Amino acid sequence: TGVAALKAAAGGNPLLANLPNKLWIGGQWVDALSGRTFPVLDPRSGEEVFRVAEADKEDVELAVAAARKAFDEGEWPRMSGKQRGKVLTRIADLIEKYADELAAIESLDNGKPLVMSKIADIPLSADHFRYYAGWADKLHGKTIPCDNVFGKFFAYTLHEPIGVVGQIIPWNFPLLMLAWKVAPALATGNCIVLKPAEQTPLNALRFAQIAEEAGVPAGTINVVPGYGPTAGAAICKHPQVDKLAFTGSTEVGRIVMREAAERIVPVTLELGGKSPLIVDKNVDVDKAVEDCHFALFFNHGQCCAAGSRTYVHESIYDEFCEKAAARAAKRVVGDPFQEGTEQGPQIDEDQLRKILAYIDIGQREGATMLCGGKQKGTAGYFVEPTVFRDVTDTMKIAQEEIFGPVQCILKYSSTEEVIARANACEYGLASGIISNDVNFINSVSRGLKAGTVWVNCYNVYESAVPFGGYKTSGIGRDKGEYALENYTVTKAVYQSLESNQC
Ligand code: TXE
């Protein structure tokens, strides 16, 4: 399917003609008990393109009951890891089979350039299921010898699924965030109640169909689109939910953690960031400018890991700032279905207003705006790529998550100084270093308090590599072998070596 055909498809919305608009509970498409629906807006125009059933507390009750039954009585947790792995592989195959359709839905729902959905979001999602398919039959415990005064024993551990997992995800990478949460939970034998973000429910609904087609038994995955304070809160509070996994704002992360503390259930949180990206002296400035541009502007700045504090050595600062502004001014902002578009609209009116407010604050705080600064056009939620220089550490735009296409460039002079300044922030999600000096790279990568350090690269996401935050950027790790721990509990079994009976 060509880009033009997909554009036509998305514009006329035949893509949405067969898409379910209900809740997926216990293997059935059902209306919300209240009968309410909520709109899905096209961020290019702000116009409603679809309506989806709106889950609330009562619907979450049904979804949790379905997941509970599937976990307590159903086949998924009892299936061999090998069989579960086959189903996850089929999910990966189906995501690849439907890649063009999923990419178009993603771009329509979220506003990201179709080319990005096609080369990043969708293939990375498929890869994630394939990666965890490989883990499903490798979840074994340990055999532990015991030396004990009461006799001869040995012990072994079982890594059992936790049970019903409540997962709440954001809108910036709708299918990929689903994959990060759902794949490890399924591989380890759990049952799921998933709430997609209210801004981007579409591919979660399409995913429910794919999971069914792949052979995931009814009730194993339940999808309840709805709002955070209603459906999301109901998941967090439900006494039958055994584990919470959340990606979103630090503010809501605190609420989720409070609920988890109330019920003493494990929680993983992947929250906000304000990631430093440190450019050493003696680098190829043009290349560094391009790398830093990509680090911040990718996905319209709507990345928790965005390189949103660009620290540049004083010896190249002026040249860097000038070139960074020239690059941002050239960034192609427009329809995500148009070939050549680098940046589509922001997700919604709230985010648009938030970003414009920060641009205003930055100017008032005394940073120098080199380009951009305004909403682009009047329809939809487009923002001009914006670059600030002379940003200092205490400015709000250097401390708070803007989550938009606003690059803040700070100046530094020494290695020790930049490490300390990079760490003087409440967040600690990601970071980056651009340098040709191995000593600088080693000192900075060890000195930074961040869950990820990208050296001479940025925004690289490999399924096998863990991702998560230090400090208020979160708790626990998504991805890789590390995420398996989020979804298993360890049972220790002692067995006597001396007799058949105690
Ligand atoms: O996030 P929310 P929003 C940051 C980014 C952005 C800001 C606000 O700075 O500008 O957060 O975005 C659900 N109980 N990130 O308002 O509200 C909600 O329905 C349970 C960073 O969109 O945290 C959605 O599914 N759930 C981030 C999810 O939480 C609740 C990605 C995220 O929404 C809830 C997104 C509640 N009380 C935003 N309230 C990242 N780390 O990548 C909301 N939700």
Return the ligand 1 atom nearest residue 305 CA. 42
* Predicted local confidence at residue 24, as pLDDT: 98
The pLDDT-based confidence of 16 (bands split at 50, 70, 90) is: confident
Tell which one of 112, 121, 202, 252 to mutate to probe ligand 1, the residue whose CB is within 8 A of the most ligand atoms: 252
Residues 122 and 96: their CA atoms lie apart, in Å, by 8
Q: 302 to each of 138, 306, 344, how far by Cα in Å?
A: 35, 7, 11
- The CA-atom distances, in angstroms, between 371 and each of 70, 162, 387 are 55, 50, 6
Cα 497 to middle of ligand 1, angstroms: 53
Instruction: Give me the pLDDT at residue 254, please.
Output: 98
Helix (H) or strand (E) run with residue 61 in it = helix 57-73
Atom number of ligand 1 nearest to Cα 354: 10
What is the Cα–Cα distance from 375 to 475, expressed in whole angstroms? 35
pLDDT band at 13; cut points 50, 70, 90:
low
Mean of pLDDT values over 99-116:
95
Q: Which residue has the higher pLDDT, 9 or 93?
A: 93
Contact 53, 208 (CB under 8 A): no
Position 120 pLDDT exceeds 90: yes
Question: Is the confidence at residue 4, as pLDDT, over 60?
Answer: no
What is the per-residue pLDDT for 7?
Answer: 53
Checking if the pLDDT of 377 tops 60, the result is: yes
Nearest CA to ligand 1 atom 12: 249
Q: What residue type is 98 in one-letter code?
A: Y
* pLDDT at 3 > cutoff 70: no
- Residue 81 and residue 439: Cα distance in Å, rounded? 45
Tell me the C-alpha distance between 40 and 205, whole Å. 13
Residue 495: beta bridge partners?
Answer: 154
Task: Specify the residue with its C-alpha closest to ligand 1, atom 14.
Answer: 233
SS3 240: coil
Residue 150: pLDDT band with limits 50, 70, 90: confident
Answer whether 461's CB lies under 8 Å from 452's CB: no
- The distance of Cα 47 from the centroid of its chain, to the nearest Å, equals 25
List the one residue out of 395, 398, 375, 396 whose CA is nearest residue 385: 375
Instruction: Return d(Cα 210, Cα 89) in angstroms, integer.
Output: 12
How many C-alpha atoms does 265 have within 13 Å on its Cβ side? Answer: 27
230 token code pair: 């209603």
pLDDT on residue 162: 98
Predicted pLDDT at 5: 54
Q: Which of 191, 304, 321, 425 is catalytic?
A: 304
Map tokens 């996401």 to a residue. Answer: 461
Does the pLDDT value for residue 476 go beyond 60? yes
Q: Token pair 């700045």 is at which residue?
A: 301
- How far, in Å, from the CA of 74 to the mean position of ligand 1? 32
Contacts of residue 147, Cβ cutoff 8 Å, sequence gap at least 6: none
Question: Would the pTM of this model clear 0.95, i.e. be above it?
Answer: yes
Helices (H) and strands (E) in the chain, counts: 16, 22
Q: How far is the CA of 177 from the centre of ligand 1 (A)?
A: 12
Euclidean distance between CA atoms 43 and 49, whole angstroms: 10
Please tell me the predicted confidence (pLDDT) of residue 18. Answer: 82
* Whole-angstrom distance, CA of residue 167 vs CA of residue 327: 38
Whole-angstrom Cα distance, residue 308 to residue 475?
Answer: 21
User: Using CA atoms, how far apart are residues 52 and 30, in angstroms rounded to an integer?
Assistant: 11
Q: In this model, does residue 1 exceed pLDDT 50?
A: no
Pocket test for ligand 1, best of 176, 230, 249 (most atoms within 8 A of CB): 249
What is the whole-number distance in angstroms between the Cα of residue 461 and the centre of ligand 1?
21
Question: In which band, very low, low, confident or very high, does the pLDDT at 374 lie, cut at 50, 70 and 90?
Answer: very high
Quick: pLDDT tens for 253-283.
999 999 999 999 999 999 999 999 999 999 9
Beta carbons within 8 Å of 114's beta carbon, 6+ residues apart: 3, 6, 7, 103, 104, 107, 336, 337
Distance 501 CA to ligand 1 centre (A): 54
Mean model confidence pLDDT for the chain: 96
Residue 47 is among the residues annotated as catalytic for this protein: no
Atom 3 (ligand 1): residue with closest C-alpha?
Answer: 249
Residues contacting residue 440 through CB under 8 Å, at least 6 positions apart: 280, 415, 433
Per-residue model confidence as pLDDT tens digits over 205-250? 999 999 999 999 999 999 999 999 999 999 999 999 999 999 999 9
Which residue minimizes the CA distance to atom 7 of ligand 1? Answer: 249
Q: Atom 33 in ligand 1: which residue has the minimum CA distance?
A: 248
Question: What's the rounded mean pLDDT across residues 381-391?
Answer: 98
pLDDT attached to residue 12: 52
Ligand 1 atom at minimal distance to the Cα of residue 253: 23
Q: How far apart are CA 306 and CA 210, in angstroms?
A: 31
d(CA 144, ligand 1 centre) in Å? 43
pLDDT at position 6 is 53
Write the secondary structure of 169-190 as one string of H (helix), E (strand) and C (coil): CCCCCHHHHHHHHHHHHHHCCC
H/E element, 494: strand 488-496
Give the N- to C-terminal CA distance of the chain in Å, as an integer. Answer: 68
Q: Give the atom of ligand 1 at the shortest distance from the alpha carbon of 247.
A: 41
In the block, tokens 């400090």 appear at 471
Q: Nearest C-alpha to atom 19 of ligand 1 is from which residue?
A: 228
CA distances from 30 to 200, 222, 272 (A): 19, 11, 34
Nearest ligand 1 atom to alpha carbon 227: 19
Nearest residue (CA) to ligand 1, atom 13: 228
Nearest CA to ligand 1 atom 18: 228
Q: How many CB atoms lie within 10 A of CB 416?
A: 11
Cβ < 6 A, ligand 1 pocket: 168-170, 172, 195, 197-198, 227-229, 232-233, 236, 247-249, 252, 255-256, 270-272, 304, 351, 354, 401, 403
Q: Is the pLDDT of residue 148 over 90?
A: no
C-alpha dist (Å) from residue 18 to 27, 50, 97, 105: 17, 12, 17, 12
pLDDT over threshold 70, residue 10: no
CA distances from 162 to 37, 241, 482, 490 (A): 32, 10, 15, 9
Model confidence band, residue 177 (pLDDT cutoffs 50, 70, 90): very high
Distance CA 47, CA 42 (A): 5
What is the mean predicted confidence (pLDDT) over 367-395? 98
Active site residue 270: yes
Tell how far the Cα of 289 is from the centroid of ligand 1, in angstroms: 30
Of the residues 270, 342, 384, 401, which is catalytic? 270
**Residue where the block lists tokens 């551990």:** 157
- Ligand 1: nearest atom to the Cα of 351: 10
How many C-beta atoms surround the C-beta of residue 218 within 10 A? 18
DSSP assignment of 182-216 = HHHHHHTT-EEEEE--TT--HHHHHHHHHHHHHTP
Over residues 301-308, mean pLDDT: 98
Give the Å distance between the CA of 231 and the centre of ligand 1. 13
Cα 252 to ligand 1 centre (Å): 6
Residue with tokens 């949180």: 269
